[in-house]
Amino acid sequence: MENSVNSPNKEVQDTDVHRQSMRINRGIDEAYALAERDGFALLDVAIDERKLREMLDNDSCGAFVSFEGRVRNHNNATSVERLSYYGYEALAINQGRQIIEEAKQKFDITHAVAIHRIGALEIGDIAVWIGVVSAHRYPAFDACRWLLDTIKADIPVWKQEYYGDESSKWLRNNG
């Protein structure tokens, strides 16, 4: 992927053509309301895990499994300073709704909620949050893992890593 390494100058230009993909078109409250209704939303500010957990409170559920994808300080051997996520919000919302529905059909779960954050993230920030509740434990694990894999494969979000010298690189998912 040599040709995907951008020079510092190129980055300024990139920021411009990607600016609209770093923000969501709805308000924060609207995004959470969407997550509550459809089980999926994009967000362009820090993810409030407590709000999402509240959506999953259910007295009939004995199992709650959650996944948080956090920005790592390295990718393979390279030190990472920060990361930007870019999203195609309208498609992501439509696709996310379908993925949550499919998870509920495939697995014996009660409910699932997932949020992907876009914009500039720092090391340790949560990029993606997935929570699943079910009566018994295995379906919650299976569904959470499947949701993560499917979100990584099908939700139109892309990321660029920035390094110490302000160079950057488009990333491919490598787990």
Partner 1 sequence: MNVNDKQKTITKDITVLYFADLADEANCHEEKVSISQSTSLNELYEHLNARHHFSRPQSELRVAVNDYFVKWTEIINDGDQVVFIVPVAGG
Rule CB under 8 A: which residues touch a copy of itself?
57, 59-74, 123-124, 135-138, 140-141, 144-145, 148, 175
Give the CA radius of gyration of the chain. 17
Q: Which does 154 bind (CB under 5 to 8 A by kind): partner 1, a copy of itself, none?
A: partner 1
Contact set with partner 1 (CB under 8 A): 3-4, 6, 10, 13-14, 17-21, 69, 85-88, 90-91, 93-95, 116, 127-128, 137, 148, 151-159, 170-173
How far lies 94's CA from each of 8, 82, 102, 113, in Å? 35, 28, 13, 14
Q: How far is the CB of 104 from partner 1 (least distance, A)?
A: 20
Q: How far is the CB of 90 from a copy of itself (least distance, A)?
A: 27
**What's the rounded Cα separation, in Å, for the pair 24 and 128?**
15
Q: Which does 9 bind (CB under 5 to 8 A by kind): a copy of itself, partner 1, none?
A: none
Taking the least distance from each CB to partner 1, the nearer of 19 and 37 is 19
Q: Which does 73 bind (CB under 5 to 8 A by kind): partner 1, a copy of itself, none?
A: a copy of itself
Q: Which does 59 bind (CB under 5 to 8 A by kind): a copy of itself, partner 1, none?
A: a copy of itself
Taking the least distance from each CB to a copy of itself, the nearer of 31 and 126 is 126
